[in-house]
Chains A and B, each alone.
Chain A
Amino acid sequence: MKTALKYISVLVLLVGFVSCQKNSRPNYQYMPNMYQPVGYEAYQESDAFSNGVEAQLPAEGTIPRGDFLPFDYENTTEGYDLAKAELKSPLDSTQVDLENGKEMYEIYCAICHGKKGAGMGTLAKKELIIPGSYAAKDITTGSIYHTIYYGKNSMGSYANQLNENERWQVVAYVEKLKADLTK
């Protein structure tokens, strides 16, 4: 009798433990100091810096290593006009990879501008964001790059989602789409 009671109490305890697991909080870990990193993880909070986060912006005026071309056009109407008039792609015809450009375009641009650039992306069809067709836009290589880099009107900057090479690939693809549309 007593033994049976003991077993039952153990069982109840175990079921209790299992049912204590809640989906809104993380589970227990065996050895937390083996699970949790000593170094900083991405986006971690940290009191090492005054703003309390581990991810810091690069110091003003620093440039990344490797192939880096500075972009000196300002984020103003004048900068836009200047880029539109004179900025040319650094990629020659062998470096332009339209397939990569297409892939990037369909991730980042097609949601509004549409896969063909006619301004009929998913969000445009729902009349949430209406960008208009490339065919009706007075755009050049330089102005497309400037717009991707800084954004224009309702469009935001894509400089943090696309790297420099990818931006130029997208520019090449947008020019191709515009040429196809106005053919």
Chain B
Amino acid sequence: MKKSYQSLDDNYLYNMKHVINRTISSKLLSFGFMLFLTFSISLNAQDGDPVNGKNLFNANCAACHKLDKDMTGPMLRNVEMRLANEEGLDREWLNAWIRNSSALIKSGDAYANKVYNAWNKTAMTAFPQLSDQDISDILAYTAQPKPPAPEPVAGVVAQPAEQGIGQELILGALAVLFGLLAMALILVKRTLNRFAEAKGLDVSEVKRKPIWKAFVENQFLMLVTAIFFLLASGYFAYGYFMQVGIDQGYEPVQPIHYSHRIHAGVNEIDCKYCHSSARVSKHSGIPSLNVCMNCHKSIGEVSETTLAEGKEYGVDYNAEIQKLYDAVGWDGRAYTGETKPVKWIRIHNLPDFAYFNHSQHVSVAGVECQTCHGPVEEMEVLYQHAPLTMGWCINCHRETEVNVKDNEYYAKIHEELSKKYGVEKLTAAQMGGLECGKCHY
């Protein structure tokens, strides 16, 4: 790599000889010099290749080490320089440590033992397969300066606001238009009246009964109005009474803001990763916090872009991760043992007189979670998607065909019942999915 850039420089120098215009040639020369300088600094400062080093680091070290944050092992940014400055340890020591740290500890090396004890006596995996060049490459990668934080994307934040303004503009314009129209009509009437007066016509209005009085005295109209109001209030009363006990759209504020959009949507984590009991039990359980910590042990902060997205929803994701750490008692390196249970608020809740079993639907029937829970992977705040009424259950049982493929349990009964009903494929209802006792007992 280094060579190719140098030959690029040679090219510039070579081209220069043929260029007549001195200013251009001097510009080229300085550009070439800058190019040479840029690459020579990054390459010549260490004798390793940071690009290859990054691959090696990710393959071997990244499971326990981060560049800028302690994880299972200490952070490694500028590790070689820090060791040389603070402990006076050279590359030889690092090579020995990386290839076999436990041998170094046993040999009685003072600093090796100090590190080992400081990190809870967690032994570092030995990497005897790494060559001198490999280690140089890795150290070159760790010696790279920390990249500056990227600018938050302004366009993403501004977009929804623009939409809102657009709608308001349209509405405002319409209101102005109607106002002008009304004014024009009034003006037209006034002008016409003036014309009539000028021609000597009598335009004084005939005194009539006020309209509401005429309305009240008309018995037929009163009857129609009464019926209309009765029907309307009946409609609303029915609507109101039918939604009592239905929590569709219920969207409580949870003690820790957990974004299903990020976890299930952006990061494509399977629903059953966290809700593992949905496969095997009646409940699709709320995961215990150790499941969160499977990933959040390593992920203590979200990326800049994700943080900017969170501001749209008025959420600081990093603060929410801190809430998790507080609850689970994680001080960044180890568990303190001081835990605080999180009081999650239950959203989906069937009345006690209805039985529902998750494993029956998820594992046996193979129903997608989204069939009942809606587009969870798009929800920033989780809400109840389905009404969870009996009519809604029954409707799905009537429409859904039973998945009998690779399901021996249903083989015999499916054969007999499909003969009885004279159909190719049975719905859940035909398999007995409408029987009262299946859910109410």
Query: For the complex, is B247 an interface residue (Cβ under 8 Å from A)?
Result: yes
Asked if A155 and B294 sit within 8 Å, CB to CB, the answer is: yes
Taking a contact as CB atoms closer than 8 A, the residue among B239, B280, B290, B294 that contacts A18 in the complex is: B239
Query: For the complex, is B314 an interface residue (Cβ under 8 Å from A)?
Result: no
Residue pairs across A and B with Cβ atoms less than 8 A apart, 14 shown, are: A1-B216, A7-B233, A10-B233, A23-B249, A30-B245, A34-B352, A36-B351, A108-B270, A108-B273, A111-B270, A122-B267, A128-B299, A155-B294, A156-B297
Chain B 331-347 near chain A by CB (<8 Å), digits 1 or 0: 00000000001011010
- Which listed segment binds A: B7-15, B151-159, B194-202, B281-289? B281-289
Asked if B58 and A132 sit within 8 Å, CB to CB, the answer is: yes
* Chain A residues within 8 Å of B237, by CB: 14
Interface size on A, residues (CB 8 A): 60
- Which listed segment binds A: B163-171, B172-180, B224-232, B396-404? B224-232
CA distance A126 to B305 in the complex (A): 13
A117–chain B nearest beta-carbon distance, Å: 13
Taking a contact as CB atoms closer than 8 A, the residue among A17, A37, A108 that contacts B240 in the complex is: A17
- Which listed segment binds A: B75-83, B250-258, B414-422? B250-258
Chain A: residues with CB nearer than 8 A to chain B? 1, 3-4, 7-8, 10-11, 14-15, 17-18, 21, 23-30, 34-38, 42-43, 45, 51-53, 77, 106-108, 111-112, 119, 122-123, 126-133, 136, 151, 153-158, 160-163
A27–chain B nearest beta-carbon distance, Å: 5
Find residues 53-91 in chain B having any chain A CB closer than 8 Å to their own CB. Answer: 58-60, 62-64, 71-72
A52–chain B nearest beta-carbon distance, Å: 8
The interface centre, meaning the residue of A15, A112, A129 with most chain B CB atoms within 10 A of its CB, is A129
Asked if A107 and B244 sit within 8 Å, CB to CB, the answer is: no
Asked if B236 and A15 sit within 8 Å, CB to CB, the answer is: yes
Asked if B299 and A129 sit within 8 Å, CB to CB, the answer is: yes
CA distance A23 to B243 in the complex (A): 13
Taking a contact as CB atoms closer than 8 A, the residue among B268, B272, B288 that contacts A122 in the complex is: B268
* Chain A residues within 8 Å of B230, by CB: 7
* Chain B residues within 8 Å of A131, by CB: 63
Asked if B247 and A24 sit within 8 Å, CB to CB, the answer is: no
Given the interface pairs A25-B252, A156-B293, the reply to whether A136 lies near B243 with Cβ below 8 Å is no
Given the interface pairs A1-B216, A161-B291, the reply to whether A24 lies near B251 with Cβ below 8 Å is yes
* Chain B residues within 8 Å of A111, by CB: 267-270, 273
CA distance A58 to B18 in the complex (A): 86
Asked if B63 and A27 sit within 8 Å, CB to CB, the answer is: no
Given the interface pairs A107-B270, A154-B72, the reply to whether A29 lies near B245 with Cβ below 8 Å is yes
B99–chain A nearest beta-carbon distance, Å: 14
Asked if B273 and A34 sit within 8 Å, CB to CB, the answer is: no
* Chain A residues within 8 Å of B123, by CB: 77
* Chain B residues within 8 Å of A119, by CB: 59
* Chain B residues within 8 Å of A8, by CB: 229
A54–chain B nearest beta-carbon distance, Å: 11
